[in-house]
Chain A
Amino acid sequence: MILHPGILGLLITAVLVLGLVLYGAYLGAIVLVRWDLDSSSEEQLALERKTYLLSTLMGHAMALEILSALIFLYTLEDIHAIFVGAMCATGTLNANPVGWWVLGAKILGLLFCAVWILLNRIDQRAEDYPLTRLKYGLLLLLAPLLALETWLLFRFFLGLDPSVITSCCGTLFSGSGAGVGAEIAGLPVFPLMIAFFGGTAVYLAAGTLNLRQARPRLRYLLAGLSLSMLGISLASIIAFISSYHYELPTHHCPFCILQADYHYIGYPMYLTLFAATFYGLMVGIAEPLRRVASVEGVIAAAQPRWTRLSMLLFGLFVVIAAWPMVFSDFTLEGFY
């Protein structure tokens, strides 16, 4: 293990978050079993009070998840210098491949937490706690996910060995190598550019249409589009967006853009992309819940807001991503 302040902070935060969520899941399980809104017993009153605690616990857990995700990324960057062969976060992740799983678990955990928080907020606006069972059922799923994440995180950091010779992003994300990273890096640029910018136009159009017409199908469409745009955007970042930021046609790393050399541009880029995807998804996820009468109004009011937020954030992402394509002298034309 490497004793690094960032790693210590991450491990402590992970344990604390897990503690919060496990306690939350425990309370949630009790609520699930005993919940009876029609009862006016002392127990039901106590349960209703516990829901305040639960919301607070989860709010804290969510905030800490976001903080620790950022610190995680930066720590990967920061410790790469320890490893022979590493030049950015990719090298750190390769030094102990469990790291890739941590990254995946973190993204999933973050999305999950965010969905939970929004559902909770909707639920609290209603008089009769209509989503209680759904919420606490989800919590019972979230707890094992976060437990897994914490376990992986420990495995990753405890298993990091500075004497391991790792490979840098140039190997993993090279246009001609083997493996998933290289496959994506080697995708034909012009078709992908068309998919990216065309997809952006379609997404924004679908959003605008959603704001004009309140139809369930359109909302599901938006959610589906947001998910596919996440995939296309990530592939585009590896295949050509990063190259424009590096002004180097052979450099495809999705992590080097997080470095100081590139003005940390990766952070706002990924934050806006994931937030846009999340709000887009929420429009669809919340749709079936409109059948519940007491939250119908709340959701109906929230959906246009989420749609607008998602469009705005996605637009911002595209502006950040495309900035050097428009304003720098560098061009990939003729390279492929």
Chain B
Amino acid sequence: MGSYHLGRHLKILEFALSSMLRRRTKNLGLVLVFAALVFLLSSIVFLTGALRTEALATLEASPQLLVQRAMAGRHALIPLDYGELIARLPGVGSVTPRYWGYYYDIYTGANYTLLGIGDQGLESPGSTPLRLVEGSFIMPGQRRVCLIGEGVARVRGTRIGGMVSLRDARGWMQEYEVIGLFASPSRLLTNDLILLPEADLKAHFGMPDDRATDLMVEVYNPHEVDNISRKILERLPDARPISHAEIQRTYETLFNWRGGLLLAMFLGAMAAFMILAWDKATGLSADERREIGILKAIGWETSDILELKLWEGAALALVAFLAGVTAGYAHVQRFGSELLMPVLEGWSTLFPAIDLAPQLDPYALGVLFSLTVVPYIVATVVPSWKAAITDPDRVMRAS
């Protein structure tokens, strides 16, 4: 390809852009509708992507294997003896009981996650992905203090040094001093979190001493997780082992399915748009016909006109695509994707206003491109060609 050819293509592109600018109003409507459609589809793709990333980031920190106890098909508190039994299985490292629960706050109408941290966890706070923005961590033996997430701090209007009061299982108000604020790579993890000393948490919920919420099981070899789960089930039939990979698969399937379903619903709109684009591209105004006639009369070939028309289509699609994708990105990132969140999130405990970080990767863009620009371009091929074979003689005579 010599520079002559390249220059020629660029000249035709330049002409296409200037002729589109001349007919601004005609193209504006199409660009707006197209951009709106791209906006919708890209919001869905970005939002599901962001939610998936958040959920998976949360999962990174979770243990290889989590053992719960199920009673009558519901989650029940697990006896600590179970942990001792599991710890004796070959291949199992440490077994750590976890104490946590949900708390509905009648003042703010939000759900908090209360997590107890024992002296064992305090020895290595660095191993958790939780990061303190300010304040200090709970010291071993310290009582009646708490660390809270950004979301809790926001709705409770409290900072370090303030107090958080929670109603315990007996109905008494308990006050905890805020000594630290959390930030975390995943905001889903800490937004609604209140971290209490283990003893305080057990007292708060009225948990029996020999029970925990669930058990974190360390498995030395990740490939052995399924085997260990099987062995636990054999020995403890009412246990419910949940492996890291299982949760990950569930999240993947869930978000793919939700996003895909929404996308499939909007594809009907895409089909309608294809018809609109086809129609618009077919219905040339007398003015456009005359222009093509003149161009041909001054020596443009059919292939040049065809290229001109294709450039016009490509430029229009590109403008609409970029505008739509930018708006979709902003919608998810800046405005918390207010339009779609109710359909896609589905966590009962999720706090209002979490900031999502959608990823702008080539794959997402490629998928969006194939869902929007590709149908548009395909719909306008034949009309473009029809325009390009316009007979100059006939057009000039008609006008």
Alpha-carbon gap, A67 to B373, bound state (A) = 12
In the bound assembly, the distance between CA atoms of A203 and B389 in angstroms comes to 46
How long is the Cα–Cα vector from A68 to B370 in the complex, in angstroms?
A: 8
Q: Is the CB of B252 within 8 A of A74?
A: no
B195: Cβ under 8 A from any A Cβ: no
Q: Which of A2, A9, A49, A84 contacts B256 (CB 8 A)?
A: A2
Question: Would A81 and B252 count as touching, CB distance under 8 A?
Answer: yes
| Residues in chain B near residue A217, CB distance under 8 A | none
Q: A5 touching B371 by the CB < 8 A rule?
A: yes
Q: In the complex, what residues of B have CB within 8 A of residue A20's CB?
A: 378, 381
Is there an interface contact between A12 and B370, defined as CB atoms closer than 8 Å? yes
At the interface, yes or no: B36 with Cβ under 8 Å from chain A?
Answer: no
**B114 on the interface (CB 8 Å rule)?**
no
A sample of 25 cross-chain residue pairs with beta-carbon separation below 8 angstroms, ordered by A number, consists of: A2-B253, A3-B256, A5-B260, A5-B263, A5-B371, A8-B371, A9-B367, A9-B370, A9-B371, A16-B375, A19-B378, A20-B381, A49-B389, A52-B302, A56-B310, A56-B381, A60-B377, A64-B374, A71-B366, A79-B252, A81-B248, A81-B252, A82-B249, A82-B252, A82-B253
The reply on B385 being an interface residue by CB < 8 A is yes
Compute how far the CA of A144 lies from the CA of B354 in the bound complex, rounded to whole angstroms. 51
Is A7 interfacial (CB 8 A cutoff)? yes
B interface residues with partner A (beta carbon < 8 Å) = 44-45, 48, 245, 248-249, 252-253, 256-257, 259-261, 263-264, 267, 302-303, 306, 310, 363-364, 366-371, 374-375, 377-378, 381-382, 384-385, 388-389
CA–CA, A12 to B249, complex, Å? 26
Instruction: Tell me the complex Cα distance, A20–B380, Å.
Output: 12
Chain B proximity mask over A138-167: 1 for CB below 8 Å, otherwise 0: 000000000000000000000000100000
Which residue in A19, A56, A74, A162 is a CB contact (below 8 Å) of B366? Answer: A74
Complex partner residue of A10 from B259, B264, B370, CB under 8 angstroms: B370
> Does A265 sit at the interface, judged by CB under 8 A?
no
On chain B, the residues within 8 Å of A34 by CB distance are none
Q: B381 — which chain A residues lie within 8 A by C-beta?
A: 20, 53, 56-57, 60
Closest 3 CB pairs of A and B: A3-B260, A9-B370, A53-B385
Near B by CB (< 8 A), chain A positions 36-63 give 49, 52-53, 56-57, 60
A6, CB-defined interface residue at 8 Å: yes
Q: Report the separation of the CA atoms of residues A9 and B363 in the bound assembly, to the nearest whole angstrom.
A: 11
A166, B364: Cα distance in complex, Å:
26
Nearest B residue (CB) for A4: B256
Chain B residue contacts of A10, Cβ below 8 A: 370
Choose one: A13, A52, A71, A82; the contact of B306 (CB below 8 Å). A52
A282 to chain B, nearest CB (A): 15
- Closest residue on chain B to residue A162 by CB atoms: B253
The answer to whether B256 touches A52 (Cβ under 8 A) is no
1/0 contact string of A65-83 vs chain B (CB within 8 Å): 0011011001000110111
Considering the chains assembled together, what is the distance between the CA atoms of A169 and B3 in angstroms? 46
User: Do A3 and B378 touch (CB < 8 A)?
Assistant: no
Are B370 and A13 in contact, CB atoms less than 8 angstroms apart?
A: yes
Instruction: Find out whether the CB atom of B45 lies under 8 angstroms from the CB atom of A5.
Output: yes
* Assembly CA distance A162 to B384 (angstroms): 43
A4 near B366: Cβ-Cβ < 8 Å: no
Cβ of B113 to closest chain A Cβ, rounded Å: 25
Q: Do A12 and B375 touch (CB < 8 A)? A: yes
On chain B, the residues within 8 Å of A81 by CB distance are 248-249, 252
> Could you tell me which residues of chain A, from 69 to 108, have a CB within 8 Å of some CB in chain B?
70-71, 74, 78-79, 81-84
B378 / chain A contacts, CB cutoff of 8 Å: 16, 19-20, 60
Complex Cα–Cα for A8 and B302 (A): 36
Most buried by B among A9, A20, A84: A9
